[in-house]
Structure formats: structure tokens, C-alpha cells
Chain A
Amino acid sequence: MNSPMIYALLGITLFSVGLYGLIVREHLLRKILALNIMGSGIFLMLVALGKRSAGELPDPVPHAMVITGIVVAVSATALALTLMLKLVEASGSAVLHDAPKDRS
């Protein structure tokens, strides 16, 4: 079990923890946090996989992917937070109402 495999496994556990959090937690802020954890789990795995080519220099492609991933994750989180604030402003609670009100 060389070190990259451990990190990859750690990444996957982070991903599943995030997924669990997303499923169970009601509050929107917690859901956004869960999403971020899942994202960082994937990035960790990508970086771990970078150490696969023979030489000591790591494979550049995963790193490129991680950078783009981080950029995307940041913008997504920003949008999510502003949307949540607007939602709280509009409907008073930061919880997605499952019972659809307008079930006329």
C-alpha cells in the first residue's frame, strides 16, 4: 500500500462523508458545506493519482484538472451562498420545503 493509494482511499472516504452529509442534513448551509467536502475529496484523489508515472516528476494533467476543479467549486459555492441568502430573505427559512405548498 504505497502512499498515493492511501490518499486516494482517503479522498473517496471524504467524498462519501460529504454525500452522507448532503443526504441527512436539512439546513442549506450544511448542504453547501457537504458539497465542498465532496469536492475536496475528489481533488485529493486526483492529486494522489498524479504520482503514477515512473519518474519522480508527477503527471501534470491531474494537477491541471484540480486547479480547474477548484475554480469551478469556488464559483459554485459563491452562487449557492448568495442564493441561500436570497432564499432566507424571501421565505424566511434556510430549509428546502419538501412538502410542496402549492399542491392544489
Chain B
Amino acid sequence: MIEAPFLLPLIIIVPLLLALGVVIRVTQRVAIKIAPWAALPALLAGLLLDDGKLQLPGMLINSYLLFDNTGRLFLLMSAMLWLATGLLHQAYSGALYAQQKVVFKLLAMAGCFLMPLAGDVLMFMAATTLAGYSLYGLLAQEKNRTTREAVNVMLVVLVVGDIVLFELLQLLGMHAVSVDFDAMRQAFVMTEQMNVQFGLLLFGLGAKMGLLGLHFWLIPVFITSHLALRPALISFIFSAGFIAWLRLFPLGEVYYPAIGALLQWGAWLMLGYALLLGVRQTHRRGVLAVILMTVTALWLSIVAALLIQPELWLSMSRSLVLAVIQMGLVMSALLIGQGLLKHKPTLKHSYALTVCLAIFLLAVAPVSLIRHFDSANSLTVTSLWIGAGIMMFLLWRTHFLLLASAEDSSYSKVLKTSHKGRSVNRYLFPGLVAVALVTAVPNLKFLSAITAFSFLLLFASMLLIAWLSRFYKPTEPSQLTSGFIVQQFKQGSSAIMEATQYLDIYSTRLRKGITKRFSPKFVLSHFSWYERSLNRWSVALIIMVLIGLLVSVQGLLNQ
């Protein structure tokens, strides 16, 4: 491992420089060619660089780059996912607005790499905003209307989430001695309105991770986003969501059973809702969005457990991060797997095998965490089992539906086969699953015999139920809940617009009325009659005599 913290900024500067290169006409062609490999420095740094901390003197408010264990893992994940995005993008993106897409892609990449490295809160916020807005730029390029509508809803949710997070940071900032993460954590620990601040955190981060109330943008975006963008999406969601939880929220130091219990029941509610939604999903990637919601639900139940027993955190922190990385990799693999199959129909059998391995790895991640929990928080253990079960059931179900109706066109959209599929893309899907397997190994080592056996039992039963349920095919189109909410959102906002529009017109008419009535001309026209009378010779002289008398009378008065 090389001890060189000063190389850290390079990870972010390279993509930014490339983005600049793409914008400037002279170096455009070269920059676009290099763009897919822009994630390499991050990958190398993640593998080779030692842990370290780099103080950035001028930047923001005494900010610094932090490279610790969680940062390394998330950086590696993001690097791999962005590498995949780069390769896929070069192969399959259309010619339209190519230059603008590459710029947004590079900016989003820089943002996603900065998130794990950010040492202080403001740098992290800057990274999330940069990544969020550029990702929005990428997604908004899509041609069809539903994506653009969903992406607009996503932007609104992201922006509101950011603002809520900003307010939370300000609430913490008052107590915190400085702006970096551990000072913020101390502030979080010693604050008195814990529930307010936890609520804000939940809302802020939930907006990105698809919390129950804020999940409606997830499904349409997952379904309609372009093949190349899906790994980037997962990278953004996982790093913006989970890093903030790990860095900002003092998982090990807060004992708050009241919120823990409430959160536990919330997680259960989400799992149930996810199951219901997953079953009704017709599109494969819609199901994966629901899988993401399940992962979030599991995360919340783990956090609930930690709130009840903070001391668990020390033992399980490392394996928790590994499990999250593993789930992220598997989900992105599944997301792009189907797309790749479409371009290379010949790989049908190897695809089936890797899908089976992927589903196994995805489900085993939560199960491998059970060993950390004892009987005290049984609710969390059961929720982990149920979560794994739901994931397996939904994935198998989609797989079987896919196989059953390989020929039915309405079921799986056939992408037009692109022209220059690079050979290396073929290995992306199995490669990602292999990396996920590597991350799973440290957790699987400690898997006790009973849990392993009960897991295999669960695996087989879910396989069976899924195979049985393939006869129930939902009829009307999939986006039941999300479409409805997007509609409501649009109608609601347009209604508000009209109401305030009317208010605006009415106030301007009112103001014009007032100014007309009291305008100077209107008032002054009365005076001209007096002026004419004053100009008459006789009137003036009489007034003059009056003044003379008045003055002389004064003399008499104050005699």
C-alpha cells in the first residue's frame, strides 16, 4: 500500500478535467475517447492507496479529504460501477446530445467519487448536489415522456431532501465545534431534540434511498433509464444514502429505544408494502426498484436494532458495510444483465447460471448479518430472514415469468440490437457478480451451520413458490402507485400555480385601481378653480387689506 494522501484529489480532478476537455472544442475528440476510462484512477487509488487524511487549506470551511475503510469500500464500488457505465455508454448511447451526456456523466462521476472521500459535511453536501444535478441532467436526456416526468419528480424529491438535510446540518452546526463529520456526530449525540433531528435525517436520506413515502420516483426511473445509466444510478443512491448514514449518524453511541421500536415497525411496514408492490410489478427492473426498497427496509431495521443496543455496532460495523456493498454490486449486475442478454442472445445458459448465483448472493447478505444479533432484538433477526425471502421470491418470480414468456413481446421489451457491442461488455455481468462474491466471502466465513442449512431450505422453498406463482400474471400496466402519485403531484402543483396566478392578476388590478384614484392629476384638478379665483384683481386686493388689518390688530392684542 502506498502512503500518499496527496494523490486523493486526483481522483476527482481527472473526471473534472476530462469534462472541461469535452467542453472545449479543440480537445473534444480526445476527451470523449478517454472518458470511459476516467474511473481508473479511483479504482487504482481504492486498491493501492493507504488510509489517510488530506487537509485542503482554502476549500470551503476548513474542509479535508478522508480516506478510511468505509470510504475505500464505497469508492471501489463506485469506481467499478462507473467503469461499467463508461464502457456501456460508449457502446450503446445514441448520437443525440452525445457531448452534453458525456459532460454530465463525468460531472456525476466526480460527485460520486467525492462523496466517500469528503471529510466534512459541506464537502459531502457539495458532492451530493453535484452528483444529483448532473445525474438528473443525464436522466432528463431520455426521449420518452414518462421518464422525463419521473425524473422531474425525482429532482423535486432530491432538492427537498437536500434542503431538509441542509437544515439538519445547520441545527447540528450550532452545537458542533467545526464542520467535519466527527464533530457533527458529537453534536448529534448531545442534542436534546433527538426525535426532530432523526426525523429530518430520515427524510433527507430517505429521499435518495427510496424510503416508503418518497419512493414513487424509483420505479419509473429504474424501468425507463438507459442501459448505460443504471450502474451510475445505483452508485449514486448507495453512496448518497448509506455513506451519510454511516458518517453522519453516530450509530454506536446513541441509545434511544423509543425511536428504535418505531423504526422497527416502520421497516416491517416497508417490507410488507414492498412484497405487495413487487408482486404487482410486470417489468423486471421495476422489481429491482422494489428490491432496493427492501434493502432500505432491512437497513432501517438494523439501525433500529443499533438504537436499542448500541454496543452491537463495534462488532458488526465492518461486515455491515461489506453486506451493503455486496447488495449494491449484485443489484447493478442484475440491472444490466438483462440488457446485455438482449444484445447477445447466444449467452442464454451462462446467463441463467449467473442469475441464480446473483440471487443467492443477494439473499445471503442480510442472512450473514444475523450472527451479530442475539435474542434481545429478535424482531430484527426475523425481519432479516423475511427480507431475504422476499428478495429471492421476487427475483425468481421475474426470472420464471421471463423464461415462460420468452416469446411474448409485451412482457420483455426487445431493444434494437446495437451495432458495435464491444467484446469486453460480455464479461461485465458475470464480472460484477464475481466481485460481489469476493465481498461476500468474509461474511460467509462465520456463517453457522444452522443458519446455512435454514437458508438453503428458504432458498428452495422460495424457488418453488415463485415457480408456482408464475401463473398469476398481473393485467394492467405496472406503475400503479407511482403513476398515480406522479399524476397527483402534477395536478396539485398546477392547481397551486393557477390559484396564485389569479392572486397575482387580482393584486395588480387592485394596485392599478388605487393608484388611478389617488394619482396626482386626479387630486390636483380640484385646485385649478381656486387658482383662477385667486387671480382675480379684486379678490387679491381684498385679501391684502385683510392681511394689513390682521397685522395691525396683532399689535393691539399684545399691547
Interface residues of A (CB under 8 A from B): 19, 22-24, 96, 98-100, 103
Taken together as a complex, chains A and B put the C-alpha atoms of A99 and B541 apart, in Å, by 17
**Are A103 and B541 touching (Cβ within 8 A)?**
no
Nearest-neighbour CB distance to chain B for A13, whole angstroms, equals 15
Contact B532 A99 (CB under 8 A): yes
Q: Write the chain A residue with the least CB distance to B538.
A: A23
6 more A-B residue pairs beyond the given contacts A23-B542, A96-B537, A98-B536, with a C-beta to C-beta distance below 8 A: A19-B545, A22-B541, A98-B535, A98-B537, A100-B532, A103-B532
In the bound complex, CA of A71 to CA of B206 (Å): 105
* Alpha-carbon distance between A103 and B535 when the two chains are bound, in angstroms: 12
Which chain B residues border A24 with CB–CB below 8 Å? 538
B535 and A100 within 8 A (CB):
yes
A73 to chain B, nearest CB (A): 19
- Residues of B close to A103: CB separation below 8 A: 528, 532
Chain B residues close to A by CB (< 8 Å): 528, 532, 535-538, 541-542, 545
Residues of chain A within 8 A of B537, CB atoms compared:
23, 96, 98
How far is A23 from B537 in the complex, measured between Cα atoms in Å? 7
Q: How far is the CB of B533 from chain A (nearest CB, A)?
A: 9
| A22: chain B residues within 8 A (beta carbon) | 541
Chain A residues contacting B536 (CB-CB under 8 Å) are 98
A23 lies within 8 A of B541 (CB): yes
Q: CA of A99 to CA of B533 in the docked complex: distance in angstroms?
A: 9
> B529 to chain A: closest CB distance in Å?
11
User: From residue A91, how far is it (CB to closest CB) to chain B in Å?
Assistant: 16
Residue of A nearest to B545 (CB): A19
For A23, what are the chain B residues with a Cβ–Cβ distance below 8 Å?
A: 537-538, 541-542
Cα–Cα distance between A98 and B534 once the two chains are bound (Å):
10
Q: Which residue of B lies closest to A31 (CB)?
A: B537
Minimum C-beta distance from A29 to chain B (A)? 15
Q: 11 A-B Cβ contacts within 8 A? A: A19-B545, A22-B541, A23-B538, A23-B541, A23-B542, A98-B535, A98-B536, A98-B537, A99-B532, A100-B535, A103-B532
In the bound complex, residues from chain B placing their C-beta under 8 Å from that of A99 are 532
A5 to chain B, nearest CB (A): 20
Q: Complex Cα distance A100/B542, Å?
A: 20
Q: Whole-angstrom distance from the CB of B146 to the nearest CB of chain A?
A: 68
- Taken together as a complex, chains A and B put the C-alpha atoms of A23 and B541 apart, in Å, by 6
